[in-house]
Amino acid sequence: MSQLAQSAASSIIIIDYGSGNLRSAEKAFARQAKSRPVHVSGRPEDVLAGDHIVLPGVGAFGDCIDGLRAIDGMVEALEIRVLKQARPLLGICVGMQIMCRHGLERAPDTPHQGLGWFDAEVRPLAAHNGLKVPHMGWNEIAVRDTQKVVAPLDGEDVYFVHGFAATPLSDKGRSEIAATTDYGGDVTAILARDNLIGVQFHPEKSQQAGLGFIERFLEWQP
């Protein structure tokens, strides 16, 4: 067991699987973590010992899920710590998207398979009424869920950068939509179920609304 894994209980693990610059996320979580340590790690053993786990993601669905699977034992560690042991997990942007069943970046008949934790697929955003894709900038979210981590975000403006969005595949998938934003129609902003939360926006770039959300997540014991 690594030295980090030995001290990771009650710590926050931000998973590093080559998805991009994690510095802004690390700084935001460290700011809200109080005395708890925040570690950026690509080691499955650290994930297995972590208390709150963050799955970031920047770029393409296929690249992110391939990068996660390329780390030997990482998906298995997540399944143990998150699905079996029910530790809180937050997916951010593409990190949320790869928690869905699949992504349609290529032709619809060759989707990328995601983790399958949310019953949704990730589809390209449509350009409605002259709106630009990707959706980039501040937008208000409408919360459907009374879950204490999510509910205070109702009516807040948060920061988005994305060209794809999660679309539910069933009634179960629709029940997992905790919040939406209006971008030519309802677009999934938050997915939530049990100990899992995924956000399409970037809380680390969403000023006080985002920092408050991060703090509530880190205090959450589902």
Active site residues: 93, 202, 204
d(CA 205, CA 168): 26
8 A C-beta contact, residue 121 and residue 169: yes
Burial 134-157 (b: 16+ CB within 10 A, else e): ebeeebebebbbebebbeebeebb
| Paired tokens of 126 | 């449509």
Bin 37: left if φ > 0, else alpha if -120 < ψ < 50, else beta.
beta
d(CA 40, CA 11): 11
Sign (positive or negative) of CA dihedral 211, 58, 113, 12? negative
8 A C-beta contact, residue 118 and residue 193: yes
d(CA 160, CA 172): 25
8 A C-beta contact, residue 94 and residue 60: yes
8 A C-beta contact, residue 138 and residue 159: yes
